[in-house]
């Protein structure tokens, strides 16, 4: 349990470190696709990793989602990031929701690049189903458990929510092991071929934030074991992922409001506090 006091820090509006370099490299507003995002948002990082991994050109437009600018609302009706504006249509079209965006980008890459996608080939439908089960577990279990742990305040809730987060990781590991044992397609946790699976992209931003925000505010440490730690290291050091990461300070500052469960921190925080599904 953290003994740190709430200093009142707010979320950052501009990315830092490697993420800043990547954003600067995609600063041409005439690109066919505009990615509306926020530097601290893990849902945005999902989409950003997909762009980098699949080699699809884009323009980064960092916005403040809590101000809900009109340009964001035009592509994301709830005012949530990420959102895509497809500039090569007249009038422009849009896509929102991180999972849908990943699938959309994979469909584009299938006909415009030679990069492998996040799923096994269509000739292995069972392996594809197993990967989708992993991604579903991330959305249903791991992501909500992360926020419940980060937002927990009293010691009893911190212990129970920390246990829940560890159990969600263990559940994901079991799904990866199931895929290893039950399919010829080696997509999953222990891959060492430099490729990313759908589950890697879906879970990665929260696995990464557990090493900074959860570690700093809740004293979280991943359970010992060389295999899982090797996975974490491979994931966060993958070029497509590393290029979208800001400095540790940005996450410490931006997640302070979650760690102290400030009122109306975000739609995600409000949903966790009320027991509703994530928006």
Contacts of 68 (CB under 8 A, 6+ apart): 79
With cut-offs at 50, 70 and 90, classify the pLDDT of residue 133: very high
CA geometry: angle at 121 spanning 117 and 127, to 5°? 105
pLDDT band for position 123 (50/70/90)? confident
Q: Which regions of 107-250 does DSSP assign to beta strands (E)?
A: none
pTM for this model (two decimals): 0.95
109, 55 Cβ separation under 8 angstroms: yes
Instruction: Give the fold, CATH level 3, of 125-274.
Output: Glutathione S-transferase Yfyf (Class Pi); Chain A, domain 2 (1.20.1050)
pLDDT beyond 60 at 273:
yes
Q: Which fold has domain 17-112?
A: Glutaredoxin (3.40.30)
Average of per-residue pLDDT across 208-226: 93
| Spatial separation of the C-alpha atoms in residues 241 and 249, rounded to whole Å | 18
| Long-range contacts of 165-168, Cβ-Cβ distance < 8 Å, separation of 24 or more | 165/210, 165/214, 165/220, 166/223, 168/137, 168/141, 168/142
Domain ranges, ordered by start, for the chain: 17-112, 125-274
Q: ∠ at Cα 204 (235, 263), nearest 5°?
A: 145
pLDDT interval class at 180 (50, 70, 90) = confident
């Amino acid at each position: 349990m953290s003994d740190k006091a709430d200093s009142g820090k707010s979320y950052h509006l501009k990315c830092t470190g490697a993420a800043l370099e990547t954003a600067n490299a995609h600063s041409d507003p005439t690109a066919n696709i505009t990615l509306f995002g926020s530097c601290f948002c893990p849902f945005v990082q999902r989409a950003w990793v997909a762009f980098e991994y699949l080699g699809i050109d884009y323009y980064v437009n960092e916005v403040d989602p809590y101000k809900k600018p009109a340009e964001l609302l035009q592509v994301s009706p709830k005012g949530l990031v990420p959102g895509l504006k497809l500039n090569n249509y007249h009038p422009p079209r849009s896509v929102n929701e991180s999972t849908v965006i990943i699938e959309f980008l994979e469909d584009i890459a299938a006909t415009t690049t030679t990069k492998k996608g996040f799923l096994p080939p269509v000739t292995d439908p069972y392996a594809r189903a197993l990967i989708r089960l992993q991604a579903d577990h991330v959305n249903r279990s791991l992501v909500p458990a992360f926020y419940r742990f980060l937002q927990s305040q009293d010691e009893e809730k911190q212990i129970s929510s920390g246990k829940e987060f560890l159990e969600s990781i263990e559940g994901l590991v079991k799904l990866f092991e199931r895929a290893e044992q039950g399919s010829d397609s080696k997509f999953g946790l222990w891959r060492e071929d430099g490729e990313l699976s759908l589950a890697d992209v879906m879970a990665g931003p929260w696995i990464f934030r557990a090493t900074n925000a959860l570690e700093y505010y809740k004293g979280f440490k991943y359970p010992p074991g060389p295999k899982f730690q090797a996975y974490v290291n491979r994931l966060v050091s993958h070029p497509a992922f590393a290029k979208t990461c800001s400095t540790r300070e940005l996450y410490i500052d931006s997640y302070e409001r979650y760690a102290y469960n400030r009122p109306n921190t975000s739609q995600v925080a409000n949903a966790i506090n009320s027991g509703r599904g994530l928006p």
